[in-house]
């Protein structure tokens, strides 16, 4: 469904103004009596009460360092966030540190809190957030910016780091979006870049010790800026190298996470079975930022699942990662766990599976309730040409085999993810999505017995391409909203079977995502102005107010269409150039150029090194529990040696010859899809690394 544009919300709550911020430290006093009076008036009051099993004890006493971990969205969304589970566990093990959690309340509660002058509180002790020494906020996605301002405002903490007094909490951020910190830098005292396990403990220890010595805020920030992986906006550094947890397998799994009463988005026990993905999809920031691949061993995972399930009482364990079916021992893990829980109501789920290795995992998923849910696959593009451009490395044959195997194996529901607006996309690629979905539906129908054909469900979910920082497509523009709307209409009229359920993302929200994703410091003002005009919960389609963003952009003289749609030249400086994500800029440029030559690049865990630059640092290596190549052989046998794998291997072995870019083709595409030909900047044939390309390995 396309969102209807809506007018700015008439504020039903008192106008959002920063209240008089007292310079003295906010007292750690319980707000429980005031909160209790509001609870009968709100939806799902259980979101605000705390008291979960394994949560920190409630106390009014001050500790040497009081830390609040905050997720900038509803409890229902953030309550199961694996990053916060890990960081919470780290903090509660540190001596002299007391950790609590807070979430952004839902709009009904926010209105009541403003009307009754109640400030944002922590769940465990129900004390004001402003009374904490340090507040850690995770930045899960680009649309969370306005929620961060909403929660700072509700907590009565000055929005800007430079306005915070000596006694105000230190507000520190981390998470995937922190890799481009500039749009958020004014709101945070410091941002942590990269894996949080080590740097978070270092930050807490440092702040705790300095606080105990009576050191002032400025000196604390100066000391924080010296920590590797920490960016303090007021203490700029020429280069910030992200932090990497070298040995995931050696890092303990949290088996006693807080157990929410609310049904959360991921209401199950999760074990991160591997971190990183080397498949190299060119639009994917998670795949570029979390390299190298680090696996936990089968024994570690099986032990963690057994221990976690017995301590939490969940009836489901998720083997979580960016691409779970890629784990070198996945079949063994699923087999061992299925054996352990064969006679129980406990289910093991694999949330993220690839089409091309589904066959090898399928054989292990035998119990009926594993097949009850929806299987999701992500071909991402309809045509093989476009899948080669984005380096998806799956073929139509892979999809057909996976669908056929899944429906023959007992599944009845499947969801396919696609993306529209990808670089070089033409109308033919959009029509190919419908064709491929129809083919998948027919395959599913054929795979099930005739009497059960009415049970076959296939749904299509179309996201909009968002150029993300630190990816090969960071230089590419997003098509205009009108153009995206046209492509959605084209898809709907492309003969998609009526029984296939189609959903798509709101292009207006995706445009804001693109603007923030590639934004510099001025985008911070855009976020603030949009928030002041009523924007919040932008990731919730029913709460998203495009008008607030457009008015804010107008007031600041910014053009959202231009910011999201601009194709950047390869040598233009980028706001995130000073962040060393591990992957070199040379690699990104090479991948960008290969994309326009429709050249794929194989996964380095299956073939040879792709020279992305990540493993050039000491101690940082791809760590697999066992070789993936053995398993690849097995997969190929199962999948009938799909053409994809062979092609990927050939691509990896052949040195790429970059001829002149196929500009004529691309320009023609742009005209066809409504782009102005002048929007296109030709990639130079000889990429010149930017000066800031510090990530170049020293050889």
Partner 1 sequence: MSDFRLRINFQKLGKLRQLSHLELARALERCVRRSGLPYAISQGFSAHMRHSFSAALPVGTASLDEYMDLELTSFVPPKAAVSALQQVAVFGLPILGACYVSPNEPALQATRCLANYEVELCDPEHDLADQLLAALRSTLEIIVRKKGRPRSYHLPDLLEVTQTRRLVASAPDLCRLFMPITLTEGGSLRPELILEAVAPAGRSLEIVDIIRISLRAQPDLLEHKGEHR
Is 312 near partner 1 (CB under 8 A)?
Answer: yes
Pairing of strands 316-320, 294-295: unpaired
Is 315 near partner 1 (CB under 8 A)?
Answer: yes
CB of 45 to partner 1, least distance (A): 4
CB of 81 to partner 1, least distance (A): 19
Range in contact with partner 1 (rule: CB under 8 A) among 141-149, 228-236, 310-318, 646-654:
310-318
Is 52 near partner 1 (CB under 8 A)?
Answer: yes
Beta bridge partners of 269: 317
* Cα distances (Å, whole numbers) of residue 594 to 299, 324, 437, 582, 695: 39, 27, 27, 20, 20
User: Is the CB of 78 or the CB of 292 nearer to partner 1?
Assistant: 78
CB of 170 to partner 1, least distance (A): 29
CB of 313 to partner 1, least distance (A): 3
CB of 219 to partner 1, least distance (A): 40
Select the residue interacting with partner 1 from 53, 115, 363, 653 (CB under 8 A). 53
Is 314 near partner 1 (CB under 8 A)?
Answer: yes
Give the closest residue to 570 by CA, choosing from 474, 456, 666.
474
Select the residue interacting with partner 1 from 21, 34, 39, 555 (CB under 8 A). 39
| Per-residue H/E/C for 131-178 | HCCEEEEECCCHHHHHHHHHHHHHCCCCCCHHHCCCCCCEEEEECHHH
User: Is the CB of 171 or the CB of 346 nearer to partner 1?
Assistant: 346
- Give the other-Cβ count within 10 Å of 300's Cβ: 20
Beta bridge partners of 462: 418, 504
- For residues 177 and 564, give the distance between their C-alpha atoms in angstroms, rounded to a whole number: 17
Q: 3-state class of 411 per DSSP?
A: coil
Is 455 near partner 1 (CB under 8 A)?
Answer: no
Applying the rule CB under 8 A, the residues between 228 and 267 that interact with partner 1 are: 259, 261-263
Select the residue interacting with partner 1 from 311, 597, 617, 634 (CB under 8 A). 311
Q: Rounded to the nearest 10 degrees, what angle do helices 196-212 and 217-225 cross at?
A: 150
Is 227 near partner 1 (CB under 8 A)?
Answer: no
Do 128 and 26 meet the contact criterion of CB atoms below 8 Å apart?
A: yes
Applying the rule CB under 8 A, the residues between 260 and 299 that interact with partner 1 are: 261-263
Is 452 near partner 1 (CB under 8 A)?
Answer: no
Range in contact with partner 1 (rule: CB under 8 A) among 218-226, 232-240, 307-315, 357-365:
307-315
Range in contact with partner 1 (rule: CB under 8 A) among 47-55, 154-162, 187-195, 624-632:
47-55
User: Is the CB of 267 or the CB of 682 nearer to partner 1?
Assistant: 267
Pairing of strands 294-295, 240-241: unpaired
DSSP H helices in 448-536: 481-492, 507-517, 522-532
- Give the other-Cβ count within 10 Å of 649's Cβ: 15
Kindly report the CA angle at 181 between 178 and 187, in degrees rounded to 5?
100
Give 184's DSSP letter: G
Give the closest residue to 186 by CA, choosing from 563, 519, 469.
519
| Per-residue H/E/C for 305-330 | HHHHHHHHCCCEEEEECCCHHHCCCH
Is 116 near partner 1 (CB under 8 A)?
Answer: no
Select the residue interacting with partner 1 from 3, 21, 45, 111 (CB under 8 A). 45
Applying the rule CB under 8 A, the residues between 328 and 357 that interact with partner 1 are: 344-345
User: Is the CB of 49 or the CB of 681 nearer to partner 1?
Assistant: 49
User: Is the CB of 101 or the CB of 156 nearer to partner 1?
Assistant: 101
- For residues 296 and 156, give the distance between their C-alpha atoms in angstroms, rounded to a whole number: 42
Is 372 near partner 1 (CB under 8 A)?
Answer: yes
CB of 48 to partner 1, least distance (A): 8
Is 369 near partner 1 (CB under 8 A)?
Answer: yes
User: Which parts of this chain interact with partner 1 (CB under 8 A)?
Assistant: 39-40, 44-46, 48-53, 259, 261-263, 309-315, 344-345, 368-369, 372
């Amino acid at each position: 469904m396309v969102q209807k544009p809506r007018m700015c919300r008439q504020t039903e709550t008192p106008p959002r103004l920063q209240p008089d911020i007292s310079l003295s430290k906010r007292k750690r006093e319980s707000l429980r009596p005031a909160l209790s009076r509001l609870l009968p008036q709100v939806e799902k009051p259980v979101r605000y009460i705390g008291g979960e099993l394994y949560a920190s004890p409630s106390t009014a006493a001050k500790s040497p360092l009081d830390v609040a971990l905050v997720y900038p969205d509803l409890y229902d969304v953030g309550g199961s966030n694996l990053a916060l589970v890990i960081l919470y566990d780290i903090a509660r093990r540190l001596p002299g540190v007391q950790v609590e959690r807070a979430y952004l309340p839902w709009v009904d509660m926010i209105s009541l809190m403003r009307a009754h002058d109640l400030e944002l509180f922590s769940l465990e002790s129900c004390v004001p957030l402003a009374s904490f020494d340090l507040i850690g906020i995770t930045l899960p996605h680009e649309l969370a910016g306005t929620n961060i301002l909403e929660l700072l405002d509700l907590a009565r903490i000055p929005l800007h780091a430079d306005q915070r007094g000596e006694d105000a909490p230190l507000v520190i951020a981390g998470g995937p979006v922190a890799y481009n910190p500039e749009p958020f830098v004014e709101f945070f005292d410091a941002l942590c870049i990269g894996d949080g396990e080590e740097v978070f403990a270092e930050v807490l220890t440092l702040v705790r010790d300095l606080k105990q010595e009576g050191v002032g805020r400025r000196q604390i920030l100066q000391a924080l800026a010296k920590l590797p992986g920490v960016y303090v906006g007021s203490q700029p550094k020429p280069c910030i190298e992200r932090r990497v947890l070298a040995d995931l397998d050696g890092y303990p799994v949290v088996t006693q996470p807080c157990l929410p009463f609310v049904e959360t988005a991921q209401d199950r026990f999760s074990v991160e079975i591997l971190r990183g993905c080397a498949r190299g999809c060119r639009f994917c920031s998670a795949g570029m930022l979390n390299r190298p691949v680090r696996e936990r061993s089968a024994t570690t995972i099986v032990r963690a699942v057994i221990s976690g399930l017995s301590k939490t009482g969940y009836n489901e364990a998720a083997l979580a990662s960016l691409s779970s079916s890629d784990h070198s021992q996945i079949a063994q893990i699923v087999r061992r766990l299925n054996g352990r829980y064969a006679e129980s109501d406990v289910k093991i789920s694999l949330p993220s599976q690839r089409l091309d290795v589904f066959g090898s995992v399928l054989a292990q998923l035998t119990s009926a309730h594993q097949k009850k849910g929806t299987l999701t696959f992500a071909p991402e593009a309809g045509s093989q040409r476009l899948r080669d451009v984005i380096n998806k490395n799956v073929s139509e044959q892979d999809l057909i085999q996976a669908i056929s195997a899944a429906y023959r194996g007992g599944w009845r529901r499947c969801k396919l993810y696609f993306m529209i607006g990808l670089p070089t996309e033409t109308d033919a690629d959009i029509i190919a999505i419908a064709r491929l979905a129809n083919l998948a539906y027919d395959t599913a129908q054929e795979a099930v017995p005739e009497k059960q054909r009415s049970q076959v469900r296939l749904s299509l979910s179309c996201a909009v391409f968002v150029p993300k920082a630190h990816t090969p497509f960071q230089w590419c523009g997003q098509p205009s909203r009108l153009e995206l709307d046209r492509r959605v209409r084209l898809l709907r009229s492309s003969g998609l079977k009526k029984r296939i359920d189609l959903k798509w993302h709101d292009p207006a929200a995706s445009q804001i995502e693109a603007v923030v994703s590639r934004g510099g410091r001025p985008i911070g003002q855009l976020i603030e102005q949009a928030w002041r005009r009523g924007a919040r919960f932008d990731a919730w389609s029913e709460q998203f107010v495009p008008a607030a963003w457009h008015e804010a952009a107008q007031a600041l003289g910014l053009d959202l269409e231009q910011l999201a749609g601009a194709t950047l030249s390869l040598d233009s400086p980028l706001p995130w150039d000073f962040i060393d994500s591990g992957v070199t800029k040379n690699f990104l440029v090479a991948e960008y150029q290969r994309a326009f030559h429709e050249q794929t690049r194989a996964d380095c865990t299956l073939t040879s090194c792709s020279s992305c630059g990540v493993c050039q640092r000491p101690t940082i290596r791809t760590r697999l529990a066992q070789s993936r190549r053995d398993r690849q052989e097995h997969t190929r046998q199962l999948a009938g040696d799909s053409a994809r794998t062979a092609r990927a291997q050939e691509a990896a072995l052949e040195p790429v010859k970059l001829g002149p870019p196929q500009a004529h083709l691309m320009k023609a595409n742009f005209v066809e899809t409504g782009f102005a030909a002048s929007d296109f900047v030709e990639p130079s044939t000889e990429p010149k690394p930017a000066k800031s390309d510090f990530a170049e390995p020293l050889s």
